[in-house]
Amino acid sequence: MTQEPNTASVSYRARIRDMPSGDRPRERLRDAGPGALSNQELLAILLRTGGRDESAVAMASRLLSRFDGLVGLSRSGFAELCAEKGLGEAKAAQVQAALELGKRLVATQPQDRPVIRGPEDVHNLLQADMALLEQEQMRVILLNTRNQVLGSSDVYRGSVHTAVVRIGELFRDALRQNAPAIILAHNHPSGDPTPSAEDIAMTKQAIEAGELLDVDVLDHIVLAHGGFESMKTRKLAFR
């Protein structure tokens, strides 16, 4: 007679505390330092526990795969994380808090901030993330007086034009962080980076609003897998 597998035993063996002590992420961090751990192991420490059918390490691996790594995970929303199997509000909050601390640490080290000297630098900074997106996305790059990147934020996803974009939203983070200048960037899923009439009209409104708010709009870059266009270089909306 064939015996049914003992699922409780399987789940039990999947727990981190049942792993050899030298393989447990927390003990490895203690003995070898955080730099020796993989992203999966570091995330498992944040999660602390897994679910009924997977360890924290397995859950961490699943989340990194689901969101395409740490960058995708850092951009996920709170509700989106909570919807993942085994992730309640407490675990989602822990993950988002840790990732935000990492972002803020980077922001405190000005020597490591990218510098925008021209449209090509914007292209190099954003192309990998934005050029192949299947829907339009508007991003705002915040700059200091030395044109160093203070950060960037996704403002809109979907159709980017004056009927949808609220111009004030483009300056929200710049005003919060006292950024003196911004660069706008969005993608064209069609593959053609040529700015549309709607892109030009929205950019004109943004420039005018920036003059009132004392925030310079330095450029608007349109990205696509076929290349990129600088609206300032082409003198579209910019004088």
The residue extents of the domains of the chain are 7-107, 114-230
Which two three-digit tokens encode residue 112? 């490591």
At residue 111 the predicted structure's pLDDT band, cuts being 50, 70 and 90, is: low
The stretches of the chain forming alpha helices (DSSP H) are: 7-13, 25-32, 39-47, 56-66, 69-75, 78-82, 89-107, 119-130, 167-170, 172-176, 197-213
Q: With b meaning 16 or more CB within 10 Å and e meaning fewer, what string describes 70-109?
A: eeebeebeeeebeebebbeeebbebbbeebeeeeeeeeee
The pLDDT tens digits for 123-155 are 998 988 887 788 888 999 999 999 999 988 888
* Residue 35 vs residue 148, higher pLDDT: 148
Confidence (pLDDT) at 122 = 95
Rounded Cα distance between 228 and 193, Å, is: 5
With a CB cutoff of 8 Å and minimum separation 6, the contacts of 163 are: none
At residue 234 the predicted structure's pLDDT band, cuts being 50, 70 and 90, is: very high
* The CATH homologous superfamily of the domain defined by 114-230: Cytidine Deaminase, domain 2 (3.40.140.10)
Confidence (pLDDT) at 205 = 95
* Residue 134 vs residue 194, higher pLDDT: 194
**CB-facing half-sphere around the CA of 90: CA atoms within 13 A:** 5
* Residue 171 vs residue 2, higher pLDDT: 171
With a CB cutoff of 8 Å and minimum separation 6, the contacts of 140 are: 152, 153, 155, 170, 173, 174, 182, 183, 184, 185
Q: What is the mean pLDDT of residues 13-27?
A: 63
At residue 225 the predicted structure's pLDDT band, cuts being 50, 70 and 90, is: confident
- pLDDT surpasses 70 at 11: no
Handedness of CA 133, 139, 144, 145 (dihedral sign): positive
At residue 58 the predicted structure's pLDDT band, cuts being 50, 70 and 90, is: very high
Rounded Cα distance between 152 and 122, Å, is: 11
Q: Percentage of the chain with pLDDT > 90? A: 51
Output the average pLDDT for the chain.
85
Answering whether pTM is above 0.75, one says no
Return the minimum-mean-pLDDT range out of 11-25, 88-102, 146-160: 11-25
- pLDDT surpasses 50 at 176: yes
Secondary structure (DSSP) of 45-77 = HHH----SSS-HHHHHHHHHHHTTHHHHHHHS-
